[in-house]
Chain A
Amino acid sequence: EVQLVESGGGLIQPGGSLRLSCAASGFTVSTNYMSWVRQTPGKGLEWVSFIYPDGTIYYADSVKGRFSVSWDNSKNTLYLQMNSLRAEDTAVYYCARSTYTYAYESWGQGSLVTVSS
């Protein structure tokens, strides 16, 4: 069974950094399409990043240069490193197993990141 579990969220001051983890089971992160999606409280979904199995990574303009994705094969875990955080980055962050058709077929439970002083 495919399962994704995010962790690492919390309250962080503007300008700070945070790393989210997405532990996967039932499949191998490094050989699959993966994505990060976020949802502002009470609002809609926003695409953040897409990772191809060959390691190519794309980012939304809103996070480019501040966020970066990596993974640890030994832990079968995907990471989202978030730097220079802003109030507008406050959201629930989801990792998702994706497909070659750019669909998000399995989702984690989400991790809340709150950027506030």
Chain B
Amino acid sequence: QSALTQPASVSGSPGQSITISCTGTSSDVGGYNYVSWYQQHPGKAPKLLIYGVSNRPSGVSNRFSGSKSDNMASLTISGLQAEDEGDYYCTSYISSGTQVFGSGTKVTVL
């Protein structure tokens, strides 16, 4: 159950778009459409942004979008805002109820 690989940090200027990658294998990310993404601010619980690769829960801004190609999933944040600063995690189903998180990415708004 090795963690999925995410870049340690990504930064962008307000208004720009950034993309966070989440790389796994054919046994996790590539094998199932059960990738989800979370945003976490310091001292707070994570918040669900994307589920099922590309679906947004009610109430989540449409500036957040998800996609997947082969063994890599991606989260794109468009129109970057100061409030988007924080840590972002992906997660994927593996098999038999087990799941794995990504290593996490720190997003900085310049």
Contact = CB atoms under 8 A, between A and B. Distances in A.
Given A44-B3, A60-B1, A61-B1, A103 B51 contact: yes
Contacts of B109: none
A94 to B, nearest CB: 6
A56 B46 CA distance: 25
B100 interface: yes
A58 B97 contact: yes
A71 interface: no
A29 to B, nearest CB: 17
Contacts of B45: 94, 107-110
Question: Interface of chain B, helix or strand or loop or mixed?
Answer: strand
A45 interface: yes
Question: Interface of chain A, helix or strand or loop or mixed?
Answer: loop
A35 B18 CA distance: 30
B46 A107 contact: yes
Interface stretch (B19-27, B72-80, B88-96): B88-96
Interface string B76-110: 00000000000001011100111111111000000
B89 to A, nearest CB: 5
B52 interface: yes
